[in-house]
Structure 1
Amino acid sequence: MPEHSTEKTYRFIQMFYFFTFFAFGSIFPLLSVFLAEEKGLSHTQIGIVIAALPLITIFVQPVWGMLSDYTRNPKRLLMIASVFASVLGIFYPWLQVFPVLLLGIICIALFQSGIVPLSDSLSLNFVQRNGKEYGNIRLWGAVGFAVAVFVLGRLTEATGSMNWIFYSFSLGLLFALITLFEFPKRADEVTVSFRQGLKTLIQEKPFLLFLVSNFLIFGPVLANNYYFGTFILVVGGTLSGVGLAFLLAAGSEAPFMKFAQMVINRFGVVPIIIFSATVSCLRWFFYYFEPSSTVVYATTIAQGVSVGLYIPAALILVRELAPGGVRATAVGLYSAVGNGLGNACFTFVGGVVIDLWSVSFMYGVFSFMTLVGIIILLIVNKMVQPEWKERIA
């Protein structure tokens, strides 16, 4: 690929991540507030509705993967997923009562769940072939997410209507769709079947342990995206304050993602994951004591470390722990366990804990689970060090 063409594609991929995560940032952080204030659902019902998104992801993502393998055209599938998710988002605000709202979010999830894995597969293949860094692409997603929450927090408060979060979600995906016309067509080629890849990965104990730790560490991080708005309101913030908090939190991810590869090369991938997980653990433990909204705003920049470093490092570790022929399967499994199962589990548990106790108690639970995940990571580090030393030697 000519250099000018490579750079052009690179920029369009970055734009795609900006608009896609702008769409996600428009809806997900404020969805729990919308369901509570506009639809009158309990926190347990809210937990069920929100948990449906990642739960559907677990089962639907492999289907998108199989369709990609069969059609050999992930770019077209990505366009289809973006269009249908966008259209369904427009109609969601008009739905009423808990069962219908749950069904509506399931329909959105069927298509939204295909967007990230398909785009990640295309992007990872592109950066590996052209000597680019995934972190410099993914950081634009963090920027888009941050901008969306800030803008929508102010817009919903100024207009008194939360329907805007869905309209912005749909608009973001439509803009992302435009950038897809310059996307690369090729993704990682699958050299073995999913079943054979799964059999191979089951025998890799460090990989399996990392999946468990990722479930315990990243599940609370993703669940926080849904309940952080509720927490801000509890400690005395406003909807504009929710937007400001997410602007600081998600916006701080971008610079850390930009320099993630350099930091990983300097200190090692597992130590960086342990460090970022520790920051998450301390942040959740701090929220357990319900600090003032001003202090909460100040601590949101911790997300730059806990997410901005964790995401690139975790993806690198997955590819290093997995044998060469099953790396695509490993990435899919990692996404299903962390982004799917972990997200769904902690989102549901979070809703129940808020109903039974409080949102601050939920963060206490998150802190403890993250601590268990860190202990497992220390075991993984001890297991892989001898093998990696042999490779270097």
Structure 2
Amino acid sequence: MREEPDKSSSPFVLKGFTFFVYGAMVLFATYFPLYLQDRGLNKLEIGLLLAFGPLVSIFANPFWGLSSDRYPHVRRIVLMMLTGTLLFAELAFGAHTYETLYTAMLLFYFCQTPLLAQTHTLTLSYISDTGRPFGSFRLWGSVGWALTALLAGPVLERAGISSLAFLFAALLGAAMLSLAALPPLSRGSGGFAVAPNPFRGIGRVIRNPYFLSFLIFGLLVSIPNTMNTTFLSLYITDMGGSRSIVGLAVFLSAFLEIGVLKLCERYLRRSVPALLGWLALVSLLFVFRWWLTAQATTPREVALIQIMHSTTFGGFFYVGAQLTRLLLPRPFRSSGHAFFTLGWSGIAGVAGGVLGGWLFQNFGAQNMYEFGGFLTLIGAVGFGVMWFFVFQSGYAPGSHNGEHGGSGGQ
């Protein structure tokens, strides 16, 4: 059974822990490609190396998730993950051969990729039965992400990209100290609860033509987003932009995300036709965003375009998660969410890193973004066709072999 929170737990320390973890993650996501480029790696090599993350996460997430479910000390597990992330990151920063670098990154991603999910698990363990909303703690993660990206740019500009290793270690160290300052979680009564199999009903899920189409079109939209996430900093610096501009771009992409998610939560109608329509619309906004990015002529233009990230990325993944729930009957939703994460994050992450690196290296960033816009347009049209059929014929979650029900959603 999962741990129960000690009533003396400090909300302030928990918010600080969340702030530092997210701050460390954005440092790595934003500036590590620049560090690799400074070490002499080309765009394709950088893309291949960063594609390890989504690939390793396919195995790392179930491993750490199952460990968290079965082992009665969530805080210790998170501390193990933080320690591994710090040690293997420093090994990667100090690597002098490709073999050492690739080995260190494989081990790093094994500890790092599930870290945010386990941070959420830890937070929920502490605030369980306290009445405190999870969103008030998750908000500090977004604040840490945005502010760290913004402030780290000028620091790295002055101190050099080699100082990234020290900044990353400092933030992870602060997260570990915050974790140590949290009061221990008391072990609940009763035996251990074995986590349910997330792949139950796998055959029924993939035989649902609507859900399968939803995954495929979503993959086409997700791949260009991964390209942008991986290579945005390199694109800005290749245009002559500073690391401060890189930090500004990431800040602008993140600071409105919480507001967008709250608006979606409050106003979006939870029906299959309505959500498919919104998914098609948000995908078209993605197309417009990639076209603008490809046409940009200055680093500041690229940075300002990132304001659209809050609407496109935030709206896209929120609606996608809701549709996963509505497109499948209740017994198969766990399997559906596993496929949703595997496709839109795992496979898209690998493809985006490799394909984006190859396009960037051989044809330039503008062509990479234009190709991304073309892929996204196909996905948008696919979602539009799905919306038309569901709007005309309705959809019932129980008809998972493709038969239509009479209702347009629920």
- Greater gyration radius: 2
User: Is the aligned partner of 1:297 residue 2:303?
Assistant: yes
Change beyond 3 A, Cα 1:325–1:124: farther
Whichever residue aligns with residue 395 of structure 2, its letter is E
Q: What's 1:371 paired with?
A: 377
**Which aligned pairs between 1:211-290 and structure 2 lie closer than 5 A?**
211-265=215-269, 268-290=274-296
Which residue of 201, 208, 226 corresponds with 2:205? Answer: 201
Conserved 8 A contact 1:157-1:240: yes
User: Is the aligned partner of 1:164 residue 2:163?
Assistant: yes
CA RMSD of the aligned region, Å? Answer: 3.5
Change beyond 3 A, Cα 1:182–1:152: same
Change beyond 3 A, Cα 1:108–1:294: same
Determine the C-alpha separation between the residues in 2 that align with 1:330 and 1:166: 38
Q: What's 1:32 paired with?
A: 33
SS at match of 2:407: helix
Shift of the alpha carbon at 1:36? Answer: 0.9
Shift of the alpha carbon at 1:353? Answer: 0.9
Higher helix share: 1
TM-score normalised per structure 2: 0.81
Conserved 8 A contact 1:139-1:258: no
Conserved 8 A contact 1:54-1:343: yes
Determine the C-alpha separation between the residues in 2 that align with 1:205 and 1:125: 38
Conserved 8 A contact 2:275-2:323: yes
Determine the C-alpha separation between the residues in 2 that align with 1:325 and 1:12: 38
Whichever residue aligns with residue 18 of structure 1, its letter is F
Relative to structure 2, which stretch is displaced further, 69-78 or 19-28?
69-78
Change beyond 3 A, Cα 1:105–1:368: same
Which residue of 344, 352, 356 corresponds with 1:346? Answer: 352
Whichever residue aligns with residue 147 of structure 1, its letter is L
SS at match of 1:96: coil
Whichever residue aligns with residue 223 of structure 2, its letter is G
**Which aligned pairs between 1:142-161 and structure 2 lie closer than 5 A?**
142-160=142-160
Determine the C-alpha separation between the residues in 2 that align with 1:122 and 1:341: 27
Shift of the alpha carbon at 1:249? Answer: 1.6
Relative to structure 2, which stretch is displaced further, 375-384 or 282-291?
375-384
Shift of the alpha carbon at 1:368? Answer: 1.1
Whichever residue aligns with residue 358 of structure 1, its letter is G
Determine the C-alpha separation between the residues in 2 that align with 1:202 and 1:128: 35
Change beyond 3 A, Cα 1:336–1:79: farther
Q: What's 1:330 paired with?
A: 336
Whichever residue aligns with residue 19 of structure 1, its letter is F
Whichever residue aligns with residue 348 of structure 1, its letter is V
Conserved 8 A contact 1:154-1:239: yes
Q: What's 2:395 paired with?
A: 387
- Alignment: residue pair count: 386
Show structure 2 runs of 5+ residues with no match.
1-5, 397-405
**Which aligned pairs between 1:37-186 and structure 2 lie closer than 5 A?**
37=38, 39-71=39-71, 76-120=76-120, 138-160=138-160, 162-177=161-176, 178=178, 181=182
Change beyond 3 A, Cα 1:139–1:225: farther
Shift of the alpha carbon at 1:305? Answer: 0.6
Deviation by residue 1:277-333 (Cα, 9 ceiling, x = unmatched): 222221112222243223223222111111222232222222222332343333233
Shift of the alpha carbon at 1:359? Answer: 1.2
Conserved 8 A contact 2:69-2:195: no
SS at match of 1:308: helix
Relative to structure 2, which stretch is displaced further, 28-37 or 258-267?
258-267
Conserved 8 A contact 1:85-1:108: yes
Conserved 8 A contact 2:198-2:334: no
Conserved 8 A contact 1:143-1:254: no
Conserved 8 A contact 1:48-1:348: yes
Q: What's 1:23 paired with?
A: 24
Shift of the alpha carbon at 1:83? Answer: 2.6
Change beyond 3 A, Cα 1:255–1:193: closer
Shift of the alpha carbon at 1:363? Answer: 0.7
Change beyond 3 A, Cα 1:314–1:392: closer
Show structure 1 runs of 5+ residues with no match.
none
